Amino acid sequence: MVVDDHVADVLAVDPTLPSDLAALLAAGPSAMAAVERAAKGAGNRIALGSIRLEAPIARPGKFLAIGLNYRDHVDEMGRELPTFPVFFNKQVTCINGPFDPIHRPRVSDELDYEGELGFVVGRRCRHVPRERAHEVVAGFLVVNDVSVRDWQRRAPTMTLGKSFDTHGPIGP
């Protein structure tokens, strides 16, 4: 657990805790409370700048996005402003850490990227009203939406151009 500019080794205090964020979220609020207690007692702290951060959630069940979500990008793409959100997915195999290398594919020279605000849905849910959405959001993170534009244009779902390996850096 990150505490100020250090990482507290909570597993050294309580080895029964989940060892990754997806398992921790699945374990529920009591597990998160146990992590917070363990972080207070963790004497072993590692400087945040001395470690390699990985993707907070390595393989989420879904990686959904909304395209054409601001006017400048709509104009840049030469498209009409949508009347309904343009949803697309990125395959979860594209996910990598926030500072990991991004591989330029040999099949295209149209590599592009956009910084996005992402959020992690922390528990299974359905039909959550807008005013209660905050109850299921576990947190926010930086997302780099890397795209291979010519491949993106070749498919109506955009999935091909959005899902090359390493083209989904997320975090911290």
Cis status of the peptide bond prior to 172, with omega within 30 of 0:
yes
Q: Which amino acid is at 161?
A: G
CB atoms within 10 A of CB 146: 23
Express each pLDDT in 11-31 by its tens digit. Answer: 999 999 999 999 999 999 999
pLDDT tier for residue 42 given thresholds of 50, 70 and 90: confident
Is the CB of residue 55 less than 8 Å from the CB of residue 98? yes
Would you state the pLDDT for residue 23?
94
Would you state the pLDDT for residue 137?
96
Q: Which residues, in sequence order, are bridge partners of residue 159?
A: none
Tell whether the model's pLDDT for residue 60 goes beyond 90.
Answer: yes
Q: Which residues, in sequence order, are bridge partners of residue 52?
A: none
Could you tell me what percent of the chain has a pLDDT over 70?
A: 100
Mean pLDDT across 86-100? 95
Chain centroid to CA 18: 19
Chain centroid to CA 125: 18
Residue partners of 81: CB distance under 8 A and separation at least 6: 68, 71, 74
Which residue, among 117, 105, 85, has the nearest Cα to 162 in the 3D structure?
105
d(CA 73, CA 149): 13
d(CA 86, CA 65): 8
Could you tell me what percent of the chain has a pLDDT over 90?
A: 79
Mean pLDDT across the chain: 93
Domains and their CATH numbers in the chain: 2-50 (no CATH), 64-169 (3.90.850.10)
**Beta 95-96 vs 168-169: how paired, if at all?**
parallel
Express each pLDDT in 104-159 by its tens digit. Answer: 999 999 999 999 999 999 989 999 999 999 999 999 999 999 999 999 989 888 89
Would you state the pLDDT for residue 76?
84
Q: What is the pTM of this model?
A: 0.86
Tell whether the model's pLDDT for residue 74 goes beyond 90.
Answer: no
**Which of the pair, 88 or 76, is modelled with greater confidence?**
88
Would you state the pLDDT for residue 93?
96
CB atoms within 10 A of CB 115: 8
Cα separation values, 41 from 9, 49, 53, 102, 150, Å:
9, 21, 22, 37, 52
